[in-house]
Structure 1
C-alpha cells in the first residue's frame, strides 16, 4: 500500500484535469453513439445523488462505515470513465462496488448480505444469485486495473483540524462537506488534502447551525467572496478565516484549486434543489430493461 498520496496509483492514474476527464467521457459516448442517442440520461450530478442514495440504503442496515461508502462511490466514478454507463446495470455495479469497498476498508460484509440489501433497493431487478456479484467483482477489479486503494480527505481533516482550532460543530460540517464532494468529479480532479482544506474553509465561513450544506448555495457564494476578501477582514470569525488564507498563501497548496472545489460544490448544491429521485430511476430503468440487463449477468 502506498502510504503517500503522491506515490499512489490514485495520483498517477486516477487524477485528471477537467479537459482530460471530459475527453475520456466524450470518447466513451462516441464509441457507443447509438445507445447514447437512444437513452438520454439526466445531469451527471443527478445520477451521482441517486447512486449515493442507493448506496446509503444498502449500507445503513449493515452498519457500513462512511469511508467504505466513500470508497464505493469512487470505484463507481472511476469505472464509468472506462465503461459507458448504458452498457451496465448500475444497480449491480453499485452493489458490487460496495462489496469490494468493504473488503478494501477492512470492514468486510458477506456477499449474501450485500445481495439481500440490493434486492430490497431494487425489487424490480432479478438479484437471486450471489455469483452475479462475484462475476461483476471480477469485471470491476479488471476495469480498475486492480488499483483499489483510495486516499480520502478525512485523514487530512483529522491532521489539520487542531491546527486551525475547528470547533466540534465546524469539524462536523467539514466532514459533511467531504462526504458531499463524492457526488461531484472532485475525487478525480484534486488531491485529498485540497478537498479537506476546502471543507475546513467553508466550515469556518459558514454557520455550522445551518445543519447541512444541501440548499446552501447562497452561503457558498458568500464564502467565495470571503475567500477573495479575507485578508482585509477584521473581527473574531474573520480573523480565523484570514489565518487559514494566510496559511494557504505561505504553503504550497494551490489556492486556485480550492476556489475550483468551492465552485464545484456550489454547482452541486444548486442542482440538488431540483433533484428528482424518480426521474433518475425511470431513465436508468429504460436502458436496463430495454437491453435485458435486469435479468442477465453483466
Structure 2
C-alpha cells in the first residue's frame, strides 16, 4: 500500500480541476430548478454518509474515506441517473474494508434501511436484499478503478502541530489518523515542510479545532480539488482566526513585533550587559512562537492556502442555511429564515429536489424529445431496480 502521496493514485488520478467538476454535474443541471441546490446536495450527502458511518460505529477516518469514494464516484456519474443512497451504503461498506474496520453487509443494509426509510429521507425503495449492495459494491470499485487508498489531512495536522492536550488525547488522535495515507515521507518533506524548525505549538484544544475544520471540509468538494496537506494547512490558518486562544497568541505576537522597533529607536544609550544570573534566565525563557511565521516558512503557496480557506468559509456560509428538520416535508418554495443570506434549506427539501431530478430524467429516457433512445448505464440501472 502506497505511503508516498506524490507517487499515489490519489495524487495522479483523483485531484481534478473545477472544469471537471462542472462537467460531472452538467446532466444534473438540466433537471434542477436552482443550481445552488447542487452545492447543498454536497452537504446533504456528506451528512447522510456521516449518519450511516456513526450508526455502523466507523471511525472518522473511515467516514472521511467513504465520503471521498462518494465524491469520486460522482465524477463519472450523475445524481439524476443513479440512486445516491445505495451508493452511500456501498461507499461505507467498501471504506470500512479499506480502512481495516470492516462492517458486516447485513448490518450495513439494516442500518441503512433504518436511516433512509424514515424522516427526513423517506427512501422506501431502499433494498433489503444483501445481494443488491454486493452488486453495487462491484460497480463502485469498478468506477473507482480499484484506487482504494485515500490520503487525508489528519496525518499532516499531527506532523505539523504540537498540541497542549494530554498524552491520552494525543494517542487517541494518532489512532484516529491511522497509518493508511501516512503522508509525505521524511525524504520528501522539504517539498512542503520548508525550512521551518520543530512543530507549531497550539494552545489547548487548538489542534482539536483544526481537526474539526478538516472534518467539515468533507461537506464540500475540496477533497477532489486540493492535496490533503494543503487542506490541513488551510485548517491551521483558520484555527488562528476561529480558535480564541490561538487568535490571542497571534495578536500578542503581532503586537510585540510592532512595538519592538519603536522601543529600540527610542533608546539612545545602550543597556548595561546583564548579570550572569539574568543572562541564564533569558536563555531559559523561549520567545513566543508566531503561528503565522511558522505557516509562512512552509514551502507552500500562501495565496493558494488563502484561497482554500476562503472556500471553507464559503462552505460554512452555505452550511448555516442548512437546517436539520425532520418535520413536515418541505417544498422548493420554503420560507426565508428572516435574514439576507437566503432561504433555509432542509434535508426534506433536498430529498424532494433529488426525487424530482430523477423522475424528470427517467421521463426523458422513456420519452426522449429527439425520438431516439437515450444511452444509460445498464449496470447501475439494474442495481437501482431493487425493491
* Alignment partner, residue 310 of structure 2: 263
* Alignment partner, residue 238 of structure 2: 202
Residues 93 and 136 in structure 1, CA contact (< 8 A), matched pair in contact too: yes
Residues 5 and 151 in structure 1, CA contact (< 8 A), matched pair in contact too: yes
Residues 76 and 94 in structure 1, CA contact (< 8 A), matched pair in contact too: yes
Cα 1:192–1:262 change in 2 (3 A) is same
Q: How does 1:1-298 map to 2 (within 5 A)?
A: 1-22=1-22, 24-25=23-24, 29=26, 32=27, 36-40=29-33, 42-123=36-117, 124-162=124-162, 163-207=199-243, 233-235=254-256, 243-275=290-322, 276-288=346-358, 291=362, 296-297=385-386
Alpha-carbon deviations, 1:198-235, whole Å to 9, x = none?
A: 111211322358xxxxxxxxxxxxx9xx9xx98x9325
Partners in 1 of 2:303 and 2:74 — Cα distance? 27
Partners in 2 of 1:267 and 1:122 — Cα distance? 28
Partners in 2 of 1:58 and 1:50 — Cα distance? 13
Partners in 1 of 2:101 and 2:110 — Cα distance? 17
Cα 1:59–1:44 change in 2 (3 A) is same
Residues 86 and 126 in structure 2, CA contact (< 8 A), matched pair in contact too: no
Query: 1:289: Cα distance to partner?
Result: 5.7
Secondary structure in structure 2 of the residue aligned to 1:81: coil
Query: 1:5: Cα distance to partner?
Result: 0.9
Residues 37 and 350 in structure 2, CA contact (< 8 A), matched pair in contact too: no
Query: 1:39: Cα distance to partner?
Result: 4.4
Which has the higher mean CA deviation after the structures are superposed, 89-98 or 11-20? 11-20
Following TM superposition, the consecutive aligned residue runs of length 4 or more in structure 1 with deviations greater than 6 angstroms are 292-295
Residues 119 and 125 in structure 1, CA contact (< 8 A), matched pair in contact too: no
Residues 169 and 208 in structure 1, CA contact (< 8 A), matched pair in contact too: no
Query: Which one has a bigger Cα radius of gyration?
Result: 2
TM-score, normalised with respect to structure 2: 0.64
Cα 1:69–1:241 change in 2 (3 A) is farther
Which has the higher mean CA deviation after the structures are superposed, 87-96 or 252-261? 252-261
Query: 1:246: Cα distance to partner?
Result: 2.4
Q: How many pairs align?
A: 271
Gaps of 5+ in 2: 118-123, 163-198, 258-286, 323-345, 364-380
Cα 1:44–1:206 change in 2 (3 A) is same
Residues 45 and 183 in structure 1, CA contact (< 8 A), matched pair in contact too: no
Partners in 2 of 1:191 and 1:241 — Cα distance? 30
Residues 151 and 228 in structure 2, CA contact (< 8 A), matched pair in contact too: yes
Cα 1:208–1:57 change in 2 (3 A) is farther
Residues 156 and 196 in structure 1, CA contact (< 8 A), matched pair in contact too: yes
Secondary structure in structure 1 of the residue aligned to 2:292: helix
Residues 79 and 358 in structure 2, CA contact (< 8 A), matched pair in contact too: no
